[in-house]
Amino acid sequence: MPFCTSRDLAKSRAFYVDLICFIVSDEDKDTICLRGVAEGCHHSLVLKRAAAPEAERVGMRCFTEEDLEKAKHYFEKAGLPEQ
């Protein structure tokens, strides 16, 4: 699941909710959990207040175990660390 930081959660919330039409699943003063309209999961993007904006983690959903294995093989071949 993507996990990003933002200096201004109000502006980030306005962008993702008002413009992109994400739905707020949960929210407190320092974190906003968002999901798409057709998503059944609790959230697919988490925004957290921080001094500097960055993408801390990027995630992907796979439809099948085979797709997951293909992705694992690709990233291993690229020499990227497992998280």
Answer yes or no: is 61 within a domain. Answer: yes
- CATH number of 34's domain: 3.10.180.10
Q: How many domains is the chain built from?
A: 1
Answer yes or no: is 17 within a domain. Answer: yes
Answer yes or no: is 9 within a domain. Answer: yes
Answer yes or no: is 10 within a domain. Answer: yes
More confident of the two residues 54 and 46 = 46
What confidence tier does 79 reach under pLDDT thresholds 50, 70, 90?
confident
Pairing of strands 54-57, 45-49: unpaired
pLDDT of residue 54: 78
Q: What's the average model confidence in pLDDT over 49-55?
A: 83
Cβ atoms within 10 Å of 47's Cβ, excluding its own: 24
Pairing of strands 3-6, 54-57: antiparallel
Answer yes or no: is 83 within a domain. Answer: no
Answer yes or no: is 82 within a domain. Answer: no
Q: How far apart are CA 21 and CA 31, in angstroms?
A: 18
- Residue 29's domain comprises 3-77
For 34, 36, 81, the CA distances from 39, given in Å and listed in that order, are 10, 5, 28
Task: Give percent of the chain above pLDDT 90.
Answer: 37
pLDDT of residue 52: 84
Token pair, residue 56, equals 């801390």
Answer yes or no: is 49 within a domain. Answer: yes
